[in-house]
Amino acid sequence: MSNWALILYCGLITYLTRFSMIALIKKEMFNDRIREILSFVPSAIFPAIIFPAIFINDIGLIKIDDNPKILAAIIAMFIGIFSRSIIATIFSGLASYWFLIFVV
């Protein structure tokens, strides 16, 4: 598949998930149970992107020793929990990472 087709299909599926409920839904189709489960979608999906990006190195292997990303991510997580700030989380993580690779 060409890059353009890939972009178009990804755009289409993104749009359809936004449009379908607005256009088609009748309120009673979504009971509280389904709403409750859907509220866990971010917690279920984002770690699948976060964890491999931290623990898996360029050649596809799990790397625990000598991996500054782990400590930087832990620092960012705690800053995030206490500050509840998206921007503080991102910047504390990047700052710790740079400190660990350039200074330590």
Partner 1 sequence: MKSKLKVFLKGIIDVSPLMIPVVPFGLIFGVLAIDVGFTSIETMAMSLIIFGGASQIVLLQLFSGGASSLVIISSVGAVNSRHLLYGAVVSEHLSDLKLIWKIIISYFLIDQAFAISNEYLKKNKDHNRYFHLVGGGATCWVIWQSTTFLGIILGAAIPEKLGLSFAVPLTFLALLVNDFRKFINVIVIIISGLVATFGYNYIPFKAYVIVAALAGLFTAMILTRKNKKA
- Nearest-angstrom CA–CA distance, 81 and 88: 10
Rounded to a whole number of angstroms, the minimum distance from the CB of residue 97 to partner 1 is 6
Instruction: Check if the beta carbon of residue 76 is closer than 8 Å to that of residue 89.
Output: yes
Judged by CB under 8 A, the residue of 28, 35, 99, 104 near partner 1 is: 35
Q: Does 59 bind partner 1 (CB under 8 A)?
A: no
Q: Which two tokens stand for residue 46?
A: 């984002």
Amino acid at 59: I
Q: Which of 67, 71, 80, 99 binds partner 1 (CB under 8 A)?
A: 80
Give the number of residues in contact with partner 1, rule: CB under 8 A: 68
Q: Under the criterion CB under 8 A, does residue 39 sit at the interface with partner 1?
A: yes
Please say whether the beta carbons of 55 and 64 come within 8 A: yes
Residue 68 CB burial class (10 angstroms; 0-12, 13-18, ≥19): middle
Binding site for partner 1 (CB under 8 A): 1, 3-11, 13-15, 17-23, 25, 27, 29-30, 35-56, 60-62, 69, 72-73, 76-77, 80-81, 83-87, 89-90, 93-94, 97-98, 101
